Structure formats: structure tokens, C-alpha cells
Amino acid sequence: LAKTTQPISMDSYEGQEVNITCSHNNIATNDYITWYQQFPSQGPRFIIQGYKTKVTNEVASLFIPADRKSSTLSLPRVSLSDTAVYYCLVGGDNYGGSQGNLIFGKGTKLSVKP
Amino acid sequence: GAVVSQHPSWVICKSGTSVKIECRSLDFQATTMFWYRQFPKQSLMLMATSNEGSKATYEQGVEKDKFLINHASLTLSTLTVTSAHPEDSSFYICSARVGQSGNTIYFGEGSWLTVV
């Protein structure tokens, strides 16, 4: 069971870069790391996924060190609309609830201020 | 990304009645779908894993006779809350795995259930 640990909350200001780190000390060899964003009363939205090193897309970057025991989601130049809860999920090719691969942690509540 | 749609977005039902929530994968086939519930200001709690053509796998503490899950096709899973009680009021979210061995999960918009 790859349990994840994230900070409960973070504050930032508009235009700043925000880095949210997730710890997953017992990540398995075939596990991927996926980050989601959730607004109130909405389902989580896929942000980015990676296995190792660095992944970048149009909205974020994901940094994964060589030991893969943690990962950092980087949001460049956040805006007020980025205020949301961010979750990291660790799971492998064989996703299955009974294996604990889709167990959500508490997430990180990001508050962006003007 | 892939699109997962839930219906209805919100529903109000009377105690003792049953209500069905649908989850559809619109642009891909999903052999596996997952159902979550989320209470206000809390994280998502996995309820069950729905596999196309077979019985759902329920997480510990989730009553399978109360939360009926059917995954009859590769694009549709349904969650039926039977004999609903006010404590069943919650935000229910489904998700679907892309492909048979894909490791990306996409979520629906969620469905608010209020039992009065």
C-alpha cells in the first residue's frame, strides 16, 4: 500500500510559483504518480502523471527524484482560479481498490490570494 | 484527456426509496470503473471497484446490498443506493481507468445525493 502524505494546506499569491510535495516512501516498482485538482462540488481533474525524473505539460511540471519516494507538483504563476485541493495518487498498472492503489490521502488545500 | 460523465448531477429522494446514478465513459472503453463518496471538507473514500461483466469488489465497511453496482458494458457503470437514508446523503464520484492496463484514471463530475 503506497500511502501518500501531503501538507494539509498552503498559501500563495497570484503570479508566484507553487510547489507541493507528496511523500510516498513505499512506492512500488510499477507504480506511477498522478496528481489531481479538485474544486468544491466537482470531481477531481487530472493534472499530470509521471514515473521518474521530470514531466511537463501545459499546466504543470512534476519532479520525481531518483528514489521515487516523493514527488513535487510545480504550478507556475498561479492565479486565483488555482485555489483548490490537490491530491497525489500512487498506483500501478493493475489499479485495484482492494490493493489500496486508489486510496486518496487528505490532499493539499491551496489558497491563492490576490 | 478522456471524458467521464455522471448523471444526474444532483438528486433528492425520500427516505426508503432507491436512486440510481450513472457513470459513462464517453470517448473510451473502461473495463474498470471506481465509485467514491465524499463528505463536505473531507477526502474521497473509495467504495468499490466495478469490473465490466463481473461482480464489483467492495471496500471494507461498504454494504454491497445497499450500494448496488452494475457494470454491464464497457462504457457504463451504475450505482444504486437502495433504501436510502439521510446519512447516505453525500457527493458520489465515479472514475474510469483508460484501457485494460492503463494507469490513468479520469473522474466524473460527481453527483450530489440528498435524502430527505
A97 three-class SS: helix
pLDDT at A100: 46
Tens of pLDDT, residue by residue, chain B (116 residues): 689 999 999 999 999 999 999 999 998 888 889 999 999 989 999 999 988 888 899 999 999 999 999 988 889 999 999 999 999 999 999 999 876 555 688 999 999 999 99
Structure-block grid coordinates of residue B75: 462504457
Distance CA B85, CA A13 (A): 43
A91 contacts in chain B (CB < 8 Å)? 103, 105
A85 three-class SS: strand
pLDDT at A1: 52
Q: Report chain B residues touching chain A, CB-CB < 8 A.
A: 1, 4, 6, 32, 34, 36, 43-46, 48-49, 57, 59, 91, 93-95, 97, 101, 103-110, 112
The reply to whether omega before A114 is within 30° of 0 (cis) is: no
Residues A96/B49, Cβ–Cβ less than 8 Å: yes
Look at chain A and count its residues. Answer: 114
Q: What is the pLDDT of residues A29-79, one digit of tens each?
A: 888 899 999 999 999 999 999 999 999 999 999 999 999 999 999 999 999
Nearest to A24 by CA among A53, A67, A55: A67
Q: How far is CA B44 from CA A1, A35, A52, A103, in A?
A: 17, 14, 26, 8
A32 contacts in chain B (CB < 8 Å)? 103
Q: Do residue A43 and residue B108 have CB atoms under 8 angstroms apart?
A: yes
Confidence of residue A3 (pLDDT cuts 50, 70, 90): confident
Question: SS3 letters for chain B?
Answer: CCCEEEECCEEEECCCCCEEEEEEECCCCCCEEEEEEECCCCCCEEEEEEECCCCCEECCCCCCCCEEEEEEECCEEEEEECCCCHHHCEEEEEEEECCCCCCCEEECCCEEEEEC
